[in-house]
Chain A
Amino acid sequence: MAEPQASEDSPAIGSRALTKRFGRQLVVDAIDLDVPRGAVYGFIGPNGSGKTTTIRMLLGLVRPDGGECSLLGQVMPAAATDVLPRVGALVEGPAFHPYLSGTGNLLRVDAADRRSDPDTASARVAAALDRVGLTIAATKKYRAYSLGMRQRLGIAAALLQPRELLVLDEPTNGLDPQGTREVRHLIADLAADGTTVFVSSHLLAEVEQLCTHLGVMRAGTLVAQGPMGELRALTATRFRMRTRDPQPALAVLANLGVADAVLLDGGVGGSLGEVAPEWIVQAMVRAGITVAEFVQVTPTLEDLFVQLTGEGFDVSG
């Protein structure tokens, strides 16, 4: 084993054949994560697909049964106390002492990190609370916090120090639309400052707006990973055409080589693939078929997600 190198070109998060079993159940099955520095990496997958267990392994909370993982180029969990001060994390929701105030709770977390400077603690805590809009509730007991306030406090804890990497598990859970927007802006700001952000989410629309890279989990395996653009290309763009002569239109499509052409209500549809839309319209007109409407349907991330992880509503596992 070579000495761990913390060079700039090592990935912010890397793993090789990372595996975890709970009892006989394989929860995470040999995944190879690669999160480049500076990326905003969306980690998505159905409930129970192993996202949180993966995050716990990355942070050294859970020991892998096989493979290895590294944060900022250093092997976890061996380098935990060296690396984690540069990593802010929100794991499976916030958790704080109910009878301490927001400030009290953040000071406690800060006291646990032996590298943090006690002289600047109060200022850093105040700044973190301000950043998530909790200044007004700073002295309130945590037990009196609403779900959204708790979530904000969890994010504030991740921002107590300047971080190179943020690992955020469902950061907008329980937030109102306003709060969701704020968190999205916050993540965008942090990413603009060069912080690598690893964010797991169920909200695909959010991931779509925010992320530069994507990793998709399904039943413990990483089924797809890469820059957003490359993954988006996996789902073919579809089209929908409204016409009064659907049957002849199908024949034309077949001639053009649209393999999955189907009859729709009031028209036909299919995936574009190699065939350019203008060719189709041209061919239709030549064949004397009226084209009332031609719509190109760009697939959403949800389409990709469903394509990769399946339709079912069942919790996998």
Chain B
Amino acid sequence: MSAAEVVGPRRSRPVRAWFRLLGSELGLVFGRRRNRVGIGVLFGLVVLVGIALKVSAVRHPRSPAGDLMSAVAGNGIFLGFAGLSVEIALFLPLAVSVLAGDAIAGEANQGTLRYLLIAPVARGRLLVMKAVSLIIGGLVGATVVALSGLLTGAVLFGVRPLTTLSGTQMGIGDGLFRLLLAVAYLGAGLGALSMIGLFISTLTEQPIAATVATAMVSTLLWILDAVPQLDWLHPWLLVDRWMSFVDLLRDPVFTDRIVTGLWVDAAYAAVFLLLAWLRFRNKDVTS
């Protein structure tokens, strides 16, 4: 290893270099027109839901999501939560799948992967950077949805102190904080899903294939989670506790399922990140 020192890089600033690469990646992801359109779609869907709730006065069946929908009419803040509950099953996982498909498979497909690797960036470093950028992507998606709900709700229904699902009162600031926690919680779930996507992305050179496969995994998990006969399986499914973010609207907050949910997210993320590493570490880059 003495050889490396002989050549002597200029002052090595690992942290700065790290953020430079991550910044470049985020610039690429959020600068891309398709992804901006995607953010617009995530935002617009919640606006549509808000308008639909405004023009219809239908009572919703009693369920956490139904309660949320009913509550929106009385207080715009609830549209932030309702928006998340609408988009977490399909649209947010789809958005994450698109980003995950691009992560490795997209770069491989374009041939840019080989130029990154000979720039050089170590494979482990590249993979971790891609993972971090995907997690940020999921968080941004959830934030956009919550923000859209909040803004649309404020305009259409107004904002006032909330009545929690337990019937107690809560200030606006507290309500916004709970919304932030919900975004973080779902961001963790989407982050775990994106690690599945990252692994799939190392298997192929076709970004579309990786995206479709990831979206299918997510959809399959939701379907399995909805089959009552498989209730023994449900606790092991990544998405099983995602809807529990509405527990944040109880007083006191009901944390059991949320905490377990975070552990499940972490386990999925760790396993699939490890698999991605094992696959990518020695992969022949022939594209």
Contact = CB atoms under 8 A, between A and B. Distances in A.
Interface of A: 3-6, 56, 59-63, 73-74, 79-82, 84-87, 89, 91-93, 95-100, 107-115, 117-118, 157
Contact of B284 (A4, A63, A157): A63
A108 B28 contact: yes
B16 A118 contact: yes
Contacts of B86: none
Interface in B98-143: 110-112, 114-122, 125-126
B33 A99 contact: yes
A115 B10 contact: yes
10 contacts: A60-B118, A62-B284, A80-B120, A82-B7, A87-B118, A91-B114, A92-B114, A111-B20, A113-B119, A118-B20
A114 B121 contact: yes
Contacts of A93: 111
Given A5-B3, A114-B14, A61 B284 contact: yes
Nearest to B281: A63
A111 B21 contact: yes
- Most chain A Cβ neighbours within 10 Å, of B12, B111, B116, B118: B118
A95 B108 CA distance: 10
Contacts of B282: 63
Contacts of B2: 3
A113 B28 contact: no
B286 A84 contact: no
Nearest to B106: A97
A3 B1 CA distance: 8
B31 to A, nearest CB: 8
B284 A80 contact: no
Contacts of A107: 24
B17 interface: yes
A12 to B, nearest CB: 14
Contacts of B9: 85, 115
Nearest to B3: A6
Contact of B3 (A56, A59, A60, A73): A73
B125 A109 contact: no
B4 interface: yes
B177 interface: no
A60 B28 contact: no
B112 A84 contact: no
B23 A111 contact: yes
Contacts of B31: 99-100
A91 B18 contact: no
Contacts of A84: 118-120
Contacts of B114: 56, 59, 61, 91-92, 95
A100 B20 CA distance: 17
A60 B117 contact: yes
A242 B115 CA distance: 56
A72 to B, nearest CB: 9
B33 A95 contact: no
A114 B3 CA distance: 17
A35 to B, nearest CB: 17
Contacts of B24: 107-108, 111-112
Contacts of A117: 10
A74 B112 CA distance: 25
Given A80-B120, A84-B119, A95 B21 contact: no
A269 B12 CA distance: 67
A95 B284 CA distance: 17
Nearest to B8: A115
B223 interface: no
Interface in B177-205: none
B121 to A, nearest CB: 4
Contacts of A95: 110-112, 114-115
B286 A56 contact: yes
Contacts of A92: 111, 114
Contacts of B286: 56, 61-62
Contacts of A118: 16-17, 20
Nearest to B284: A62
Contact of A89 (B6, B110, B118): B118
A114 B124 CA distance: 13
B285 interface: yes
B121 A157 contact: no
Nearest to A5: B3
A5 B4 CA distance: 10
Contacts of B62: none
Nearest to A4: B3
Given A108-B28, A111-B24, A114-B21, A91 B120 contact: no
